A and B are shown apart, each in its own frame.
Chain A
Amino acid sequence: MVQVLKDLNIEFIAANPASSFEGLQESIVNYGEAPNTMPELITALHEESAVDMAHGYAKCEGAPMAVMLHGTVGLQHASMAIYQAYHDKTPIIIIVGRDDKFFRQEQTANDIAGLTRAFTKWDAQPKSLRESLAAIQRAYKEAMTPPMGPTVIVIDTEFQKEEAGALKLPIYVPPIFATINKKQAKKIAEDLLGANNPRMQVGKLRTPEGIIDAIELAELTGCSVRTSATNLSMSFPERHPQTGIGHDSNYDYVLGLESDGLDVSIQGPSLLSNAENRDLTDIGFGFIRDPVIPPRRDLSGKNDIVADAQASIPMIIEQYKRLQTKEALEIVSVRALQHTATNTKNYQKELKNTLEKKRKGWSSSPVSLARLYSELWPLIRDLDWCLSSPTVFSSRHHVGLWDHNKPYSYLGMHGAGGIGYCIGASAGAGLAAKDRDRIVINIQCDGDLNYTPGSLWTAAHHKLPLLTIMHNNRGYHQEVMYLHYMAGVRGRGSDRMHIGTTLREPFIDYAKLAEAYGVKSEGPIDDPEKLAAAYKRGIKAVLSGEPYLIDVITEPR
């Protein structure tokens, strides 16, 4: 089994130890030349954290890592995180141990995978060691096939402990991605060539290779590009010269790549297509159930092509090159230069406007969130960085200020908005960053950290390059606002809305919490003048391979 995981290039497998996968866990550590380091066993302190780590890792790499979970109880602990990864279309290989004969009956079941079937991509419960090996390969393939998502293999302990002997490994057959057909590719290429002002809107592609192809197509056509890089991972680089409104905003042809396009939108299948086969009891999860928010594109669907955009781009490029004339080349060259000039000019103007807004409350205490982000940027600007945490609760001050040029510059939202995701996903991003000279920035909400703080220990133990900066507003701030509104509606007690929504009396000391888990830390900092020096110490520690936490007392939003 370990060799199968190795062959699939699985770098890490996260787990909280359990008896139902002791056979596999022992092999992971001792297989081959011990200690085995691929996949490296990552110690998680909670099953939810293990899955969150895999979630964060996959968003960075566009490829899955694995997770081991214990029977019924471990899978249930992990279920919320699996649900989020499913919403996020994130590939994760989940191996669930099953001991049906000797251990606690409460921790086994006939169909363990049924617990999460409605929000996983695929599952299997193999009946032999040979089948188990094939199932792991199939799980990988299914996880990586759009719509990507977590897959589950339930493996009985007896198969984990069986001697492989001369058993031959099955041959892995990689996924085949559904693409547009040649006729469609030709039509799109013709339309791009025929347009006076074409544009591309790029959403989330599958892997970094897809972004490289998208760049080639953009440069080949000289079109302007709208990116999603400030909202999610695996999108078009934000500061590419052609990214922006461009020279002329009257676009006469808009191609969507995993994004809405006014004229043609190439997007992979939705989760709904998967739910038809998986949600057997018709739970009907919102968003998966049906599109609550209709797409902005032509609702007739006549321009939508359900296909993998990434796999389709090379076909468009091929057709475009075939059809391109010398005259068209000159037009494209002029168009690209015009877009570059306008985008550069706009960028300078927009940046100045952005900075003007960041000044607000610059010297205030608690620290303004604008300053929290602004002080950091010059210190990480020349480093390879990844912003791992969702930033909606810290007012997204990286947008317009930081340059999101890498596939992993910003990993986007939780998936389903479930709290407790940040530190685990950030540790996963740290695994992806480790040995790649990259650092991870986690702007960590205080409420969120208290769900699964154990990932701090994982970061310390595995020496992950993770800088955690607390957005410590000492409360569940969104709920503070909601509750105040509710009290206002009912005309009573708005001075009691801190009850159940704030983290006061006592305040939580996150620097001490981090220290307890072995993470170097400092704070609480409420003087903004002390921020930059703390950041420098934190970055120095992270660059040396140690996680660091800075507790910053912040404005609520």
Chain B
Amino acid sequence: MNKLLSSLLLLVLFLYGPIINSTTNNESGASLYLDHGCYACHGYNGSGRYPIANNVSGIMSSEALFTMFLRLRADLNPMTPTNSMPNYSEAVISDQQAQDLYAYINTLTDDPPQIENIPVLKDILDNATRKTEYE
């Protein structure tokens, strides 16, 4: 019986291992995404002011490029306060954590309806008129 259970467990791990591992990475990535302030510019769901969902960003084309981007961005002598992309050194986000973050960001999707299927936006478009005189 124990052998059977062990075999079943191994089978489950074989079949779902990558997913379980991915989920773990995603959980870690999700936590890192919030803790290190990615949400601040990219939005809680990757669809913020500087969208990162749907793989729209070139820096997401590979894990290596993403990690390099995290490491190389800082202006070490900013003259004024800036909301530019911060630098994340290895001491702050390890390579493993960067991988988790990369994995999580890859899961972010934004699939809003088309304008025609958003009644408010369609209404705005259909009723758009320019004033002809100043009241």
Instruction: Find out whether the CB atom of A485 lies under 8 angstroms from the CB atom of B49.
Output: no
A325 in the interface (beta carbon within 8 A): no
Given contacts A481-B41, A493-B92, whether A344 and B130 have CB atoms under 8 Å apart is: yes
Given contacts A355-B121, A360-B112, A492-B92, whether A368 and B82 have CB atoms under 8 Å apart is: no
Instruction: Find out whether the CB atom of B128 lies under 8 angstroms from the CB atom of A351.
Output: yes
**1/0 per position for A90-117, CB-CB distance to B under 8 A?**
0000000000000000000000000000
Instruction: Find out whether the CB atom of A489 lies under 8 angstroms from the CB atom of B75.
Output: yes
A348 in the interface (beta carbon within 8 A): yes
Instruction: Find out whether the CB atom of B76 lies under 8 angstroms from the CB atom of A361.
Output: no
Contacts of A362 in B (CB 8 A): 112-113, 118
Contacts of A406 in B (CB 8 A): 135
Q: Is the interface of B mostly helix, strand, loop or mixed?
A: loop
Instruction: Find out whether the CB atom of A477 lies under 8 angstroms from the CB atom of B76.
Output: no
Surface stretch bound by A, among B1-9, B10-18, B31-39, B98-106: B31-39
Contacts of A52 in B (CB 8 A): none
Contacts of A343 in B (CB 8 A): 130
Instruction: Find out whether the CB atom of B91 lies under 8 angstroms from the CB atom of A481.
Output: no
The residue of chain A having its C-beta at the shortest distance from the C-beta of B47 within the complex is A361
Given contacts A359-B112, A364-B110, A492-B92, whether A485 and B134 have CB atoms under 8 Å apart is: no
Surface stretch bound by B, among A155-163, A197-205, A375-383: A375-383
Instruction: Find out whether the CB atom of B37 lies under 8 angstroms from the CB atom of A484.
Output: yes
B62 in the interface (beta carbon within 8 A): no
- B27-53 contacts to A (CB < 8 Å): 35-37, 39-41, 43-45, 47-49, 51
CA A362 – CA B109 in complex, angstroms?
12
B115 in the interface (beta carbon within 8 A): yes
- Whole-angstrom distance from the CB of A346 to the nearest CB of chain B? 10
CA A381 – CA B76 in complex, angstroms?
47
User: Count of B residues near A, CB < 8 Å?
Assistant: 47
- Whole-angstrom distance from the CB of B83 to the nearest CB of chain A? 4
Instruction: Find out whether the CB atom of A405 lies under 8 angstroms from the CB atom of B43.
Output: no
Instruction: Find out whether the CB atom of B36 lies under 8 angstroms from the CB atom of A359.
Output: no
B58 in the interface (beta carbon within 8 A): no
Contacts of B40 in A (CB 8 A): 477, 480-481, 484, 556-557
CA A491 – CA B120 in complex, angstroms?
45
Given contacts A484-B37, A485-B83, A488-B74, whether A405 and B135 have CB atoms under 8 Å apart is: yes
A363 in the interface (beta carbon within 8 A): yes
Contacts of B93 in A (CB 8 A): 494
Instruction: Find out whether the CB atom of B112 lies under 8 angstroms from the CB atom of A494.
Output: no
A487 in the interface (beta carbon within 8 A): yes
A278 in the interface (beta carbon within 8 A): no
Surface stretch bound by B, among A30-38, A235-243, A444-452: A235-243
Additional A-B contacts beyond A378-B123, A491-B91 (16; CB < 8 A):
A241-B131, A351-B125, A352-B125, A360-B110, A361-B51, A364-B47, A368-B48, A406-B135, A482-B81, A488-B92, A494-B93, A495-B36, A495-B92, A555-B44, A556-B41, A556-B49
> What would 8 A/B residue contacts be, using CB atoms closer than 8 Å?
A356-B115, A360-B47, A481-B83, A484-B86, A488-B74, A488-B86, A489-B76, A494-B93
A-B pairs with the 4 shortest C-beta distances?
A488-B86, A361-B47, A488-B87, A481-B83
